[in-house]
Amino acid sequence: MKIKGVTRQDEGGGYYRVHQPLDELARHGHETMVVPAKSDVTADGADVLVGQMIGGVNRWWRRLARDARLVYELDDDPFEIERINPSYEVYSDPLVMDSLAHCLQVADLVTVTTELLAERMRKYNSNVVAIENRIDEFVLKMERPRRDKLVIGWAGGGSHGRDVESCAYGLRKTLDRNPHVEAHSSAQITDGW
């Protein structure tokens, strides 16, 4: 089977929800590829197209339905983006919201991360399946670096600002009281740390 992933991002959701699953399918003999979401995307003979959080004002998703089965993949509710999220300005545009709803409606299948999100998306498409996030098992076999201090780690993007805020006070107190502990982050952290 030939499967083509279409994503607007290569990190975060694009990696975990499109790249990683398609890489695994390729290891099992399927022909897979991932391309950036652009208006000139074609099916290229793919049997299935997986679009992750695509939207904006477009007609190309509907056009692709003529050539392949469509799977719309999302790991956030695009209709409930908080104002503090860097993507709020884009997602709050009524034309973008209408386009997102349309993309969901024309998909043959919608995949999401949780059952709560599945329930919300069934308003747009009755064929919704929750597939929880997973990580590559190689991560479990990695030898972590040994450090003199205990390290508390955080990974997340700009959309996790409120998450960081909710734990910043406690983390700051923990770091102040425990000189043998340090914090590492893959995301830009606010001054509250």
Distance CA 95, CA 101 (A): 10
Query: Which parts of the chain sit beneath pLDDT 70?
Result: 9-11, 56-58, 156-161, 186-193
**Model confidence over 8-49: pLDDT tens digits?**
766 677 888 898 899 999 999 999 999 988 878 899 999 999
Cα angle 43-45-47, degrees, rounded to a multiple of 5: 85
Please, what is the average pLDDT of the chain? 86
pTM: 0.79
Architecture of the CATH domain 2-130: 3-Layer(aba) Sandwich (3.40)
Distance CA 79, CA 98 (A): 10
* Residue ranges matching CATH 3.40.50.2000 in the chain: 2-130
